[in-house]
Structure 1
Amino acid sequence: MKRSISNAPESFHRKIAYHFDSAHSNYEPAARLQQSVAWRLARQIKYCTLPKGLRLDLGAGTGFLSRAIEAHKPDQRVISIDRSMTLLGCNPNSPSIVWNLNDGPLPVNHQVSLIACSFAIQWLLHPTRHIEKWCQKLSKGGWFALALPTNDSFPQWYEAADKANVMCSALPLPKAEDLIAISADYLTELHVDRLQFTQSAKQGLDFLRQIRTIGAQSSLMDPLNPGALRKLNRFWNQGSNRAKLTWDILILVGQRI
């Protein structure tokens, strides 16, 4: 069963920040999928004619997306915004603002020509409300660009947990249809891609270790005990020499009406 994080307590979001902070030195070499998606999103932005105004990377982390946008559009710097000073410090040459995106309006008063967000909105309260507020912040003709994993991700993990009769600790993710629908209320020239990436590993627990390595292990569920983990792993690998994990990625780019 896939769950919503809309009512997650603040303590859960502090846990998210703590885990990413703790893993900051491992993030860039280990988060290869996140880097690949950031560059793919930046290539979409390359073909957008941006009006005058600020360019923002929300939930920027260590700066994969900021650097990718600047590589494709070197005429102006991108401002990285994240609640973690530690993560922002991994990209010291980029202008940055320390800000918790769950706290409300973006902390900028100038015109905004681009709001981009990659692999971050799924960690926030009420993702559709954030899209609505961010689109409203754009100046007319500005562009919104979003990439994230959707709730169609991780079918092998959910199936293995179901067969093993243990809880699945995967982060509940937003529905692509909900994010597309709210974006269509504010954006024109809407370009939507749904991409699937399937990873393989010797065993299912290797994926959980990879997730922990980059600090993305925060869950609404209590950690599984060693016995439950072994049971999960056994069913994850069942019938195959290699375990699989599929990510369903939404990439969305549109212009403010």
Structure 2
Amino acid sequence: MKTMVLIELTKSCQKEKIANNFSKGVKNYLSHSEVQKECADKLLQIAQNYRDSIPEGSILEIGCGTGFVTQGLMKQFPKHFLDIIDISDEMLKFCEKNLQISEQQKKLIQFRQRDGETINTDSNSYSAIVSSFTIQWFQDIINSLNRLINTLQHQGLLLIAFPNDKSFPEWKKMCYELNLPFTRNELPNTIELIQKLSIPSHKIYLYEEQVSMKYKNATDFFRSLKMIGAGCNLKQDKLSNWQMKELINHWNHNCYPNKIQATYDVTFLGIQLI
């Protein structure tokens, strides 16, 4: 029993840590989130294909952040009620304040501070659930996605984008060469995720894309993650200050005189019930 309580406390502390980190990153998010913006745009392009096929009803957006996806959903699905949630209250407030919302649209949108992984969906039946760069923070991705899928209506859509476990090969290579722990957070394996989902009859859309970013040096790369809140380390393995300095120097040296590159491998996944 004590072990179970300890696990629950640990999970709760991790959630609070994630929320706090993203709340602190609000003011820097727009200027340091090029990958998130690019992938949000791609997700909205995919969403266009479903405009006429999803049923009437509410659309749930999980992890709105500063509103990259939210603004597009308002434009693409003007007749649907939008239920917009984020675990970070500061992100949610920023999103609501900075969106261009007409008086008519204000009647069709609500903002709630909620954890998408534990949101109460007992009484909800969504026409679509959309999320970009959020589900990788879930502690139990498979069960959480299964529960969300079960809230979809007939022909309802789950549309998500997330960095997968092939992300940051350059960082991983530097750690391997130095025999240091690779301290990137665990990320979903796309095929394993799909195989473990218990999905009713469905149509699936799957696309992966690599997004590479250039940084002046390794310090700038790690700083960019921290500045938007995505540098939250949830692993037990952590580098000492000396090890971190060794990693940064090695990475910089290997790329000199050029900038360093960090590559996101991003999965775009659409599941529509039939």
What TM-score does the superposition give when structure 1 sets the normalisation length? 0.89
Identity %: 24
Query: 1:223-234 counterparts in 2 under 5 A?
Result: 224-234=239-249
2:116 & 2:68 partners in 1: Cα distance? 18
Which stretches of structure 1, 4 residues or longer, exceed 4 Å deviation after superposition?
A: none
Q: How many residues align?
A: 251
Measure how far apart 1:239 and its partner are: 3.4
Q: Which of 82, 86, 90 does residue 90 from structure 2 map onto?
A: 86
Give the match for residue 269 of structure 2: 252
Q: Pick closer, same or farther for the CA change 1:72–1:166 going to 2, 3 Å.
A: same
Cα pair 1:157 1:245 within 8 Å, conserved: yes
Measured on the aligned residues, the alpha-carbon RMSD in Å equals 2.2
> Can you list the C-alpha shifts for 1:141-183, whole angstroms capped at 9, x where unaligned?
1111010000110111111122223333211101111222245
Which amino acid in the other structure matches residue 226 of structure 1?
A: N
Which consecutive residues of structure 2, in runs of 5 or more, have no partner in the other structure? 1-6, 102-108
Taking the TM superposition and a 5 Å limit, the aligned residue runs for 1:144-163 are 144-163=158-177
When residues 109 and 184 of structure 1 are mapped into structure 2, their CA distance, relative to the original with a 3 A threshold, is closer
Worse overlay, 212-221 or 158-167: 158-167
Q: Which of 185, 188, 211 is residue 174 of structure 1 equivalent to?
A: 188
Alignment equivalent of 2:221, drawn from 185, 207, 222:
207
Aligned to 2:106: none
Query: 2:39 aligns to what?
Result: 37
Tell me the CA shift for residue 237 of structure 1. Answer: 2.9
Question: 1:188 is matched with which residue: 202, 213, 226?
Answer: 202
Residues 88-167 of structure 1: pairs in structure 2 closer than 5 A: 88-92=92-96, 93=101, 94-103=109-118, 105-106=120-121, 109-167=123-181
Matches within 5 A, 1:47-86: 47-48=49-50, 49-86=53-90
Displacement of 1:222: 6.1
Q: Contact (CA 8 Å) 1:195, 1:249: kept in 2 or not?
A: yes
Letter in 1 for 2:130: A
Is the contact between residue 23 and residue 213 of structure 1 (CA under 8 Å) also seen in structure 2? yes
Q: What is the aligned counterpart of 1:216 among 213, 230, 233?
A: 230
The amino acid of 2:117's aligned partner reads: N
CA distance in 2, matches of 1:114, 1:101: 14
**2:150 counterpart SS class:** helix
Matched residue SS, 1:140: strand
- 1:3 is matched with none
Structure exhibiting the larger radius of gyration computed from Cα positions: 2
**Shift of residue 223, structure 1, vs aligned partner:** 5.1
Q: Quote the offset at 1:225 in angstroms.
A: 3.7
Alpha-carbon contact 1:146-1:253 (below 8 Å) kept: yes
Are the counterparts in 1 of residues 28 and 227 from structure 2 also a CA contact under 8 Å?
yes
Scaled by the length of structure 2, the TM-score of the pair is 0.84
